[in-house]
Amino acid sequence: MLITIKLFASFRDGRFKVATREVADGATVADVLRSLEIDEPEVGMMFVRARHVDVDRVLAAGETLSVFPLVGGG
Amino acid sequence: MFTPEEVERYARHIVLRDVGGPGQQKLKAARVLVVGAGGLGSPILQYLAAAGIGTLGIVDDDAVSLSNLQRQVIHATADVGRPKVDSAAEAIARLNPTVTVERHSLRLAPDNAAGLVAAYDVVVDGVDNYPTRFLLADTCERLAKPLVTAGVQEFYGWLTVLKPWEIGPDRLRNPGLRSLMNEPAEGRMRTCAQVGILGVVPGVLGTLAAAEVLKLVIGIGEPLVRRMLTVDLLDMSFDLVDTEADPAAGATP
């Protein structure tokens, strides 16, 4: 199935801003992060359909996953 | 009522549609708490003071260091070593002596957060760590105080407005900070001291945060409720991400 991935801030380095990717049916957010070589502890926020998701969220065809690194300075 | 000096000082607000004299009166009557007088706090305090917010509370327990000055523009070289609340309060007095400044030279903690937040109308988060940011967000949620919250690092930042006690027209609760992310484990976040930050990044995000405060106080426009602005100054992109609370998720502890 096809999903769209949006990356933000430093996660764009050497990757992309927006991409459509083929993933296996039943793929989770963790599977996508692994395929992008993003370490889970580096992630700050993740959204699907405007809602925060955890790494065990199973993705559905056509969904968009947005991933932000942990940016918390002031 | 305004003095003749105030009418002249705020002339560009008073002629501005949707602000005017009534909007300026709301700014004068407002009490805004700014937590953190650092990179984000500097432009937030400067613009809110210049705009004529009547009372500004400043929370910070830190002293000015030389390495702060590349981005914490409310402080000056002569302030190195001084408490940030004193340095910031004096800068505000130079900018706009009509503003009342309430100095809180302390670190926000579970035993003082509610007392501080309860005394203000709007709260702004300029803190540099997630434990304090979550404490502030939880406190504001419990006390139903609008929170303008932002984070910055390297070349990037994000900004949103949290009013999680409000129910939208879709009958869903607005998201709070815990609807946007899990609280990071202590020590997980790399700090600005470790990875650095381009000095103008908190300037951009802090100025936008100040704009959200002014909108909330005057009651104009559409604040960033249910939306998060993300800023990438390397490629100069500004993205808006819609955010919703998960109705299945529990309430704030």
Return the domain boundaries, chain A: 2-69
Residue B170 binned pLDDT confidence (cut-offs 50, 70, 90): confident
Phi, psi (deg, nearest 5) at residue B96: -150, 90
Query: Which among B14, B53, B20 has a CA at the least distance from the CA of B148?
Result: B53
The two tokens of residue A55 are: 């790494």
Residue in B155, B184, B230 nearest the CB of A70: B184
CB contact under 8 A, B155 and A9: yes
The two tokens of residue B127 are: 């803190």
Residue B248 lies in a domain: no
Q: Structurally, how many domains does chain B consist of?
A: 1
Per the structure, the complete domain to which residue B235 belongs is given by 4-242
Q: How far is CA A45 from CA A2, A50, A74, B182, B230, in A?
A: 22, 11, 17, 8, 11
CB contact under 8 A, B190 and A51: no
Identity at A72, one-letter amino acid code: G
- CATH code of the domain covering residue B120: 3.40.50.720
Q: What is the pLDDT of residues A6-54, one digit of tens each?
A: 999 999 999 999 999 999 999 999 999 999 999 999 999 999 999 999 9
* CA pair distance B185, B25, nearest whole angstrom: 43
**Residue listed under structure tokens 């800068």:** B91
Residue B247 lies in a domain: no
Is residue B140 among the annotated active site residues?
no
CA distance A54 to chain B (A): 9
Q: Is the pLDDT of residue B253 over 50?
A: no
Average pLDDT over residues B180-186: 89
Residues 6 or more apart in contact with residue B107 via CB below 8 angstroms = B59, B61, B132
Residue B20 lies in a domain: yes
Residue B250 lies in a domain: no
Q: How far is CA B113 from CA B31, B66, B125, in A?
A: 16, 29, 13
Q: Is the pLDDT of residue B185 over 70?
A: yes
Residue B148 lies in a domain: yes
pLDDT score recorded for residue B166: 95
ipTM of the complex: 0.93
Residue B102 lies in a domain: yes
Average pLDDT over residues B84-97: 98
B36: three-class secondary structure by DSSP = coil
Residue B252 lies in a domain: no
CATH number of the domain located at residue range(s) A2-69 in this protein = 3.10.20.30
Check B49, B162, B192, B209 and give the catalytic one.
B192
